[in-house]
């Protein structure tokens, strides 16, 4: 993916000029695969604590003119997301940044905008275009005037409390209505309280009470996200703090632009992060440099006594960055080091240096050598059995960042610079690791991957794969998903790419609906071995329970951490045996190919399924059928111990 373009005479041109040239020549749809890289370069400029770079918004203006169907015609595999927008004020300033933010994450925006001020009608009327659009993401952008426009003149704080309470109840009922009748994720937002609202009260006591009422109102909005799986609430207060004024007073008065361009650009960035997560593109690994990234100084030149992550002004900034990295790692993000240094001095610093907030045990891999960093990232990915597109790479060197961005375009590159006080802002700017909800498995992930090193040692010392598996002592539990596991199963569908037979992404509400249906089974796969628990590592989603047409395996998923241990064959053998016992006439299944799941193409045939056809659209989807004849039922691998219960529905 190119991020730098050249003119006919070999002269370098910038990413925005490249986009303009492609647009002018009518080739932007054809060159669309270049766009994420170009936008990534644009997004890396500017103040990381402020709103998105203005050039990124200008790029969005060009991209918003593109016909999405033209891009899909040129590149059928492009990930496209339909978004519906409604609101209270003028929202024309949202289109360009929203288009750009989606595009830089490799997502083509298909936008449906409602009429000005139509938010109540759009959410109330289930026959409205807002519902009919069938959007995956539905944005309802609100502002403080939905309360203040209804106040009497003159007004008291009691009036604000009364109307805010009624408005919160209304929004809550509309959210429930959308969750019941809509198909996507509804995005609401908190409402910024302006200084001009507060200053209309002349006494400090009333102003304080207004502040309390307003914060309770916004807290009620935020609680809607906890109450509904398919409701997301963007807190605008941090965005206002970063972008400056909520609006420009003259535009607010004359054109009803009640949320300014800077704030809308920040809002668009948050929605882009949400869409990326809904498509299972959350990053899993943070790879960091060391010299002038985790500590001040160059270990090879200055020695251990010459580097600092405390005790000096600059050193303390690096220490704060280390603590942030540790905070991220404690929430399920895998941490790794990629540094041009000799390994033993690096390990000694991580083990013994008094300034370090991070230690060797905090990292699942420490690659300190003199090899090119793109190759090191590939090696780390291989050892973790993950794709590099799940990586974020943070480095202070423009050369290293350019090398990785150019050779490994799937890696999110965070370009740090010589100002360590901005390291935190730059790493957090794009929410690369955002997930809807943390699970038990998330918090234990780093330890699980560290345990895998012991498994690899066993495999390397074993005389054969059979000897390794016999010594591993694999245990598998297969039973219906429990209530507290719903978030984890949804996460597995969103984040698993390699062992994912159909790559259907399911939100928690989707899993819960299937769990409550008598026609569906959602089976959780849990595993353990001699080295410890692996937790919930996969799922089997089945429909057609009790139907005349037989059972259907809608999808099967398994974490890359537990590949090739016989777990998949064990679970499928149990499912087929249970289907036969239940009197099913057969079991159907599908495989839909992607760029990453080719290794599971042969899974169903390997356990006795026969291929029954391929989709005529050329996408390569294959259907399978198992007749459940006794002689064709697979046997459970001998080295696996299975506990199975198809009736359990406990919490």
Q: How many CA atoms lie within 13 A of 632 on its CB side?
A: 15
Number of domains in the chain: 3
∠ CA 411-413-418, nearest 5°, is 160
Query: For position 65, which CATH number holds?
Result: 3.40.50.1110
Domain boundaries, position 39:
5-278
Direct distance between the N- and C-terminal alpha carbons of the chain, in angstroms, rounded to an integer: 47
Q: Is residue 631 classed exposed, middle or buried when 0-12, 13-18 and 19+ CB atoms within 10 A define those classes?
A: exposed
Instruction: Report if residue 16 sits inside a domain.
Output: yes
Query: Does residue 478 sit in the same domain as residue 494?
Result: yes
Average confidence (pLDDT) over 174-183: 94
Query: For position 542, which CATH number holds?
Result: 3.40.630.30
Least confident among 49-63, 150-164, 578-592: 49-63
> Do you know the residue count of the chain?
651
Instruction: Report if residue 96 sits inside a domain.
Output: yes
pLDDT for the residue numbered 560:
82
Query: Does residue 257 sit in the same domain as residue 346?
Result: no
Instruction: Report if residue 248 sits inside a domain.
Output: yes
Instruction: Report if residue 239 sits inside a domain.
Output: yes
Query: Does residue 265 sit in the same domain as residue 290?
Result: no
> Which is more confidently placed, 134 or 203?
203
Which residues, other chains included, contact 478 with Cβ-Cβ below 8 Å and sequence gap of 6+?
A: 523, 524, 525, 526, 540, 570, 571, 574, 575, 642, 643, 644, 645
Q: Name the one residue in this structure whose structure tokens are 């245990």.
A: 475
pLDDT for the residue numbered 650:
43
* C-alpha R_g of the chain: 27
Query: Does residue 116 sit in the same domain as residue 254?
Result: yes
Name the pLDDT band for 2 (thresholds 50, 70, 90). Answer: very low
> What's this model's pTM, rounded to 2 decimal places?
0.83
pLDDT for the residue numbered 352:
95
State the average pLDDT for the chain. 90
Average confidence (pLDDT) over 187-209: 96
Share of the chain above pLDDT 70, in %: 96
Beta strands in 407-564 (DSSP E): 412-415, 474-480, 520-529, 532-543, 551-558
| Residues 503, 592 contacting (CB under 8 angstroms) | yes
Average confidence (pLDDT) over 3-23: 69
d(CA 427, CA 324): 9
Instruction: Report if residue 443 sits inside a domain.
Output: no
Instruction: Report if residue 450 sits inside a domain.
Output: no
Query: For position 414, which CATH number holds?
Result: 3.40.50.1000
Q: Is the dihedral of CA 113, 114, 116, 120 positive or negative?
A: negative
Tens digit of each residue's pLDDT (9 = 90 or more) over 355-385: 999 999 999 999 999 999 999 999 999 988 8
Query: Does residue 311 sit in the same domain as residue 272?
Result: no
- How many other C-beta atoms are found inside a 10 Å radius of the C-beta of residue 618? 8
Long-range contacts: 382-386, Cβ < 8 Å, 24+?
383/456, 384/285, 384/334, 384/336, 384/449, 385/560, 385/561, 385/563, 386/284, 386/285, 386/560
Tens digit of each residue's pLDDT (9 = 90 or more) over 201-243: 999 999 999 999 999 999 999 999 999 989 999 999 999 998 8
d(CA 307, CA 348): 13
CA–CA distances in Å: residue 618 to residues 76, 621, 631: 11, 8, 34
Tens digit of each residue's pLDDT (9 = 90 or more) over 409-447: 999 999 998 999 999 999 999 999 998 888 887 887 877
d(CA 518, CA 185): 25
Tens digit of each residue's pLDDT (9 = 90 or more) over 443-479: 878 777 777 777 777 777 777 888 888 888 899 999 9
Name the pLDDT band for 47 (thresholds 50, 70, 90). Answer: low
Query: Does residue 289 sit in the same domain as residue 410?
Result: yes
Tens digit of each residue's pLDDT (9 = 90 or more) over 538-568: 999 999 987 888 899 999 999 888 888 899 9
Query: Does residue 18 sit in the same domain as residue 147?
Result: yes
pLDDT for the residue numbered 649:
52
d(CA 572, CA 477): 12
């Amino acid at each position: 993916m190119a991020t730098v373009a050249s003119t006919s005479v070999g002269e370098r041109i910038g990413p925005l000029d490249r986009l303009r040239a492609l647009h002018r020549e009518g080739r932007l749809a054809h060159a669309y695969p270049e766009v994420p890289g170009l936008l990534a370069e644009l997004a890396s400029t500017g103040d990381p604590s402020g709103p998105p770079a203005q050039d990124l918004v200008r790029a969005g203006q060009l991209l918003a003119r593109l016909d999405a169907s033209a891009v899909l015609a040129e590149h059928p595999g492009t990930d496209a997301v339909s978004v519906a927008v409604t609101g209270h004020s003028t929202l024309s300033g949202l289109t360009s940044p929203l288009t750009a933010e989606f595009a830089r994450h490799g997502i083509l925006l298909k936008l449906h905008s409602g009429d000005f001020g139509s938010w109540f009608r759009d959410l109330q009327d289930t026959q409205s275009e807002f519902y009919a659009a069938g959007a995956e993401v539905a944005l309802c952008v609100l502002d403080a005037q939905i309360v203040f426009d209804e106040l009497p003149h003159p007004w008291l704080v009691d009036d604000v409390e009364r109307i805010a309470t009624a408005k919160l109840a209304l929004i809550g009922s509309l959210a429930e209505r959308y969750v019941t009748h809509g198909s996507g994720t509804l995005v609401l937002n908190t409402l910024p309280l302006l200084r001009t609202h507060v200053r209309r009260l002349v006494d400090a006591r009333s102003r304080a009470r207004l502040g309390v009422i307003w914060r309770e109102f916004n807290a009620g909005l935020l609680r809607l996200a906890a109450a509904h799986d398919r409701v997301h609430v963007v807190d605008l207060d941090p965005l206002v703090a970063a972008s400056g004024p909520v609006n420009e007073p003259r535009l607010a008065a004359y054109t009803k632009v009640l949320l300014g361009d800077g704030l809308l650009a920040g809002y668009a960035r948050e929605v882009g992060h949400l869409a990326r997560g809904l498509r299972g593109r959350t990053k899993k690994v943070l790879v960091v440099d060391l010299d002038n990234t985790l500590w001040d100084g160059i270990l090879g030149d200055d020695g251990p006594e010459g580097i600092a992550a405390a005790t000096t002004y600059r050193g303390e900034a690096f220490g704060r960055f280390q603590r942030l990295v540790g905070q991220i790692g404690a929430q399920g993000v895998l941490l790794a080091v990629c540094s041009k240094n000799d390994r033993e001095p690096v390990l000694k610093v991580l083990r013994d240096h008094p300034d370090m907030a991070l230690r060797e045990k905090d990292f699942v891999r420490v690659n300190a050598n003199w090899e090119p960093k793109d190759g090191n990232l590939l090696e780390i990915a291989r050892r973790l059995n993950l794709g590099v597109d799940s990586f974020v790479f943070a480095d202070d060197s423009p050369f290293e960042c350019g090398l990785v961005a150019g050779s490994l375009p799937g890696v999110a590159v965070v370009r740090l610079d010589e100002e360590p006080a901005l390291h935190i802002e730059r790493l957090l700017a794009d929410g690369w690791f955002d997930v809807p909800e943390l699970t038990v498995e998330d918090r234990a992930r780093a330890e699980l991957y560290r345990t895998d090193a012991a498994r690899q040692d066993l495999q390397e010392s074993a005389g054969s794969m059979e000897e390794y598996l016999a010594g591993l002592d694999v245990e598998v539990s297969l039973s219906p998903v429990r209530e507290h596991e719903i978030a984890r199963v949804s996460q597995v569908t969103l984040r698993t790419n390699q062992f994912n037979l159909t790559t259907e992404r399911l939100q928690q509400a989707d899993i819960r609906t299937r769990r409550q249906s008598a026609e569906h089974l959602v089976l959780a796969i849990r595993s353990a071995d001699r080295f410890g628990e692996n937790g919930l590592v996969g799922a089997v989603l089945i429909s057609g329970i009790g139907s005349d047409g037989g059972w259907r395996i809608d999808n099967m998923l398994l974490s890359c951490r537990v590949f090739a241990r016989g777990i998949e064959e064990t679970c499928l053998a149990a499912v087929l045996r249970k289907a036969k016992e239940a009197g099913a006439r057969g079991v159907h299944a599908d495989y839909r190919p992607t760029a990453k799941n080719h290794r599971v193409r042969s899974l169903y045939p390997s356990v006795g399924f026969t291929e029954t056809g391929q989709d005529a659209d050329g996408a390569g989807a294959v259907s399978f059928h198992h007749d459940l004849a006794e002689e064709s039922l697979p046997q459970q691998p001998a080295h696996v111990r299975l506990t199975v219960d198809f009736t359990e529905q406990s919490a």
